[in-house]
Each structure stands twice: as structure tokens, then as C-alpha cells.
Structure 1
């Protein structure tokens, strides 16, 4: 490992010294405290990595090829900075791609787009900027899809409009939409976040004019069988929203519709008798709305507040989340942050404040023994608080 980092450092320094390319080592570290009540395993008080945003480090670079064309690349790793482990499944699980960019013709990338999966662009209309309690919470992490084996094209600025398209191949010669057998997933078990995915793809349109910004995203993420089998993991998503700025105030509004027409009890990993009275089946659709504001109280202090609501069909109930947050900049690179959230469920809903990995759809149950039982019981509420510090380099 030391030899590998020595080679990487030599590459960075050599590239800069010859002036043939611009190579940058960058990253951020986010650690904090968390309090989380209403969990099935009680309440949690502890340390946490990535409360405001995931910690990462990476290397990115450009090379001028002449004629206005540049070669570009990025390698990026997610980190748990409490124990030093990698996140996102592999060493460069967040990004490992190469491409070409031109001001007049746009940008093309191919490789592991990873955490750049097109749905993650939704942070632009998220009042809480993809913090722990944000638009992904009530949809159990659906917006955290990954895009490996991917192709992406982003248009140049077309006046106030930019367009982006993305397509993630599965690398499976036996099924265009399904996950490859090398994933080790047979496709017969429940589909969960962090597991194998089938094909993903989508399109995005962004309109920016003066103080107004509008965003629309259509995204498809399939399960290992190539189906839309779980509305919270493998589904179609249509999202639209926007922001508007009045001086120090920025307003947000958004809507998301999720659909999974192939959903079944098996694809969710539940049985009919495990669900509460009043639920007629697993959800095949969820409607999700939110609005919020950010207010720059002081050049160093920004406050945010937002309300999120989601409603699932087939009697699976609805949930509402109220959030309040703030950041204080200690410098251009370092900030303090805090966020509070209160989540209220209807009688047949048990959405939690988790990230979708530890609190998937279904009744409260221990996930893998040691990971705990973090979702609330049906009809119960949760309260969460995070506070920490983030530094970027």
C-alpha cells in the first residue's frame, strides 16, 4: 500500500512538473456526533462519519489536447473516517472514469461514474443539500443509486439550458438489463441498497436564468433480474423542482414519483402476514413532495429549514419529516454543521431516519445480527440530531 501511494505521489508531481497536464489531489473529512431516538433497538448516541456529506479523497486531472479539447479523468474513494474503511464497495467506488471535454461540444465520460449516478444530481433542489436528513430519507435511500460500466454525455450551455444523459451497462452477456453472474447475486432474493443492480440510465435537464433554477430528472434503476422490483431500490423515478433566490433567502420546492410495476413480496423479502392490518400489498408507487428555505443570516452562517412528505400506495401509509439545520464557516475550507429532524409516520408506515441500507422496507428486524434494528415500529416517530465538522482540501 505504501508503494502504491508513493507511485501515486510521483505521478502527481511529475505530471505537474512537465506542464503536460493539471493533476489535483483533493478530498474532505467529515466527522461528528449523532443522537437518534425511536429506533427499534432503542436510542443511539455516538460518533459518525459523513453527517453533512460523505468523506472522500481523490485525484482528478485534465490535459490540453489542442483545438479546445481536453482529456479529463477522476479517481475517487469514499471513506469512513472513524475507522479508516473504504465505502461505496471498492477502492475507487465513487468515481473511476476518463473522458473528453470541449466548450462547444460538451463532455463525454466512460467508466465507473459511481456516485455520479444521475439521480444524485437531485442535491441541487434539496433544501438540506443531501445531508443525512434530506430528500433521500423518506424514500429509503432510493436516490443513492450507483452507475458502474457507464457512459455519460453532458451538453454545452444551450443558452440557459444544459442537458445530460447517462447509461450504465451491466456487463452481462446473458441479459442486457440484469446483473452479471460475477456479482454473486442469484436474483432470487430481495433486492436491497448496496446489492447488485441491473441496468441504470436517465436524462437530466437544468435551466438556470438569473435567480431561477429548474431541474428535471428521469431515472431508471433495475434489480438483478432486470425488473423494477422494489420502489425504494429498483424503480422508475420522475423528479422535478426548482429554486429561487431573493437576496439572502433561497427557496426550494420539489416533487418525485417512484414506480415499481414488477414489485412482489419476494422482491421486498417480506411475507403478507408480516405487514400491518390495512396494508393490501407491497408498494408499487410512492409520491414525494418537499419545500424549504435557506437563509444567509451572516456571510459565515447559513440556516436551513425544510418539510418533506411521502405517501406509498396499497395502504403502506405516509410519512412527514421536519428538518432544521445550519452551517458556520470557520474558513474557506472548514465548517461546523448541525441538523435536527423529526419524522412522523402514519399507522401503516415505518419509514426511519436511516440511509436505506439499515432500514429497508418491511417490519422491524435485525439486519445481519450486529447492525441493529434502526427503523421505528409502525406508526411511531423518530427524532435525530447530528453535529460535526467538515474540512476540505
Structure 2
């Protein structure tokens, strides 16, 4: 491992010297503890990596090509810093090359990964996409990823910025995945408008299933999201709305059966999701955040409401402590979970003390708290 790190450092230095370009090795580490109740087997206390945000390690660089144009690249790996293992492929988060110009905009090609447009919902989330945040009640739909793609971001047009993405499947069929059960074609567009103390954001994206259809509202669906923030002194206010649509969703396509669902409940084809919240900069080093999220799914799936309260304390410019509390209340036919688990019954086996997911029993609530430390470099 030491030889590998040394080789990376030597390579980075050599690249910088030869190409007269800027190359940066960067990353961040998030580790902490978590306690949650209402799980299929009761409660659980765990050590966690990434409750506030993912841990990663990356390289990014730029080379001056003249005429105010730069060639750019980014390689980024997602890490489980409790075990030291990679989460996914080596550069699952980003593996792109492109060009940027202040007057013409920015073009990127390759694995856009965590740059998929739904992940920009971070900026309209009072909890900044922590474990209990904007992705929870949509079972992780806003953590979508994009491969085999290209992205264009416009320059600032009097406060307006536009971004568009298109992700190919590399298959004979334009929409279908090359991998059975995988993700098909994805695309989207985003508009960001900054005016005074306000920022408005609209995101539309499509994630297709392996057969090219919208067959799971929480994974392969159309998403339309709009939200905004407004700063009033030390307080930033947040509000937003999201609609998910998957007209091809069936019990079979989401992996459930009629007997495993409550009476009258079947796979949802649409979800409406809304939230309100605020972030208060109490002091120069302390921030308190609070938010309420509500989601309602059709076809008898009911609704869930999540209440959150969090805070951060900066130890330095690079390191901070964090904590967040969450309480999720489900209606009688809903089993949304704090862990953003996939749709369906938990199939809990009390003898073996095992479950297929961490969804609560239908109609039951969950509560949780986590705390940890994040540092970046």
C-alpha cells in the first residue's frame, strides 16, 4: 500500500512538471456512530462511514490550452473508511475529461458518476443530502449515477446557468442496458438562477431500467424537481417539491408479490415529495439545521413524514464535528425507512433474526441519531 501511494505522488508530480498543468490530489473522510430504532429486528448501534457525506479520494487537473481554454480531468473513488474498501468501481464517482472556457462553458465526457443531475438536489436540501435528508423518502432516487455520458454547462448568463446531460447505453437498443437488471439510458436538464439573496433551481432527469422502461418509481423513473433558497441574515430558508413518475412499474418489476403487500397496495407509479427547512449560522463555527420532509405514493402506499434536526461545529477550516436526529412517521400502509431502503416488505425472520431490508413494519415509525467527524484535504 505504501508503494502504491508513493507511486501516485511521484506520478502526480511528474505530470505537473511535464505538462505545466495543475494536478490536485484531494479527498475527504467521514466516520461516526449511529443509533436507530424501529428496524425489523429492533434497534441497532453501529459505526458508520458517510452519514454526513460520502468519503472519497480523487485527482483533478487542468492544462492551459490558450485562448482562455483549459483541458480538464477528474478521477474520483468512493470509499468505505470503516473498512478501507472501495464502494463500487475504482473511479465510480467520476472519470471524466473535457474542456472549459469562461465564455463558452464546460464540456465533460466519460463516467459522470455522482455528477448525475439529481444529485444537485443537494443545493436545495436543508440537510445537504445527509443520511436523513432529501433522498430518504424517495428511497435514494436522488443518488442516481450516470455512465457513458457527456455533460455541458453554460457560462453564467446574467444569473442563469444551464446544464444538460446525456448518457448512452452502448447497446444496439438505444434505451436498453447492456447488463440484465442494470440501468438503461439516462438524460436530464437543469436550470439554476441566482438573484440577490435567492437561488432557484429546476431539475428534470430520466433514469431508465434495463429494458428501457420506467419500471420502478424509486430507481428507474422520471423526476421533476424545483426548489430554492433565500438568505435572511444568518438564516438560509429552503423549500422544494419533487414529482416521480414510473408508468411501467408493476409488482413484478419492483420485486414484490401481492401476498407480501398490505391489502389494496401495489407498486407505486408516482410519488409527490415536498420539504421545508432552514440553516442557521449561529456563530462563525456553529450551524444548526432543521427540516420537515413529506412524501405521498399512489396505489395505496400511503405517506411518510420525516422531521430532522442537525448541527455542525467547525474545529478548523478542513475539519468539523456533526450530528443529526431524525424521526420518520409512516401512515398505515407505508414502510419508508431512515436508511432509504428499496421498496417492499422487510420479510423479517424472528428465528434467524434476519431481514431482506431495514424497512419498518407497515405503519410503524423509525427514529435515529448519528454523530461523527469529517475532514477534507
TM-score, normalised on structure 1? 0.93
Shift of 1:277: 1.9
2 CA distance for matches of 1:266 and 1:378? 20
Which sections of structure 1, spanning at least 5 residues, go unmatched?
A: 188-195
2:142 aligns to what SS in structure 1?
Answer: helix
Partner of 1:271: 257
2 CA distance for matches of 1:48 and 1:271? 33
Partner of 1:178: 176
Residue 366 of structure 2 corresponds to residue 382 of structure 1? yes
Partner of 1:139: 138
Aligned pair partner of 2:344 in 353, 362, 373: 362
1 CA distance for matches of 2:105 and 2:231? 28
Q: 1:323 to 1:116 in 2, by over 3 A?
A: same
Residue 350 of structure 2 corresponds to residue 352 of structure 1? no
Match runs of 1:105-184 below 5 Å: 105-173=104-172, 175-180=173-178, 183=179
1 CA distance for matches of 2:195 and 2:323? 31
Partner of 1:190: none
Q: Which runs of 4+ in 1 moved over 4 A?
A: 1-4, 369-372
1 CA distance for matches of 2:68 and 2:347? 56
1 CA distance for matches of 2:201 and 2:218? 21
CA RMSD, Structure 1 to Structure 2 (Å): 1.5
1 CA distance for matches of 2:189 and 2:221? 15
Shift of 1:178: 0.9
Partner of 1:245: 231
Q: 1:50 to 1:371 in 2, by over 3 A?
A: farther
Match runs of 1:255-294 below 5 Å: 255-279=241-265, 281-294=266-279
2 CA distance for matches of 1:371 and 1:26? 38
Aligned pair partner of 2:204 in 212, 218, 224: 218
Q: 1:370 to 1:82 in 2, by over 3 A?
A: farther
Shift of 1:134: 0.3
Check the 8 A contact 1:39/1:373 in 2, yes or no. Answer: no
Deviations 1:239-285 (A, max 9, x none): 00100001100000000000000111111111112210232x21000
Shift of 1:210: 1.4
Partner of 1:307: 292
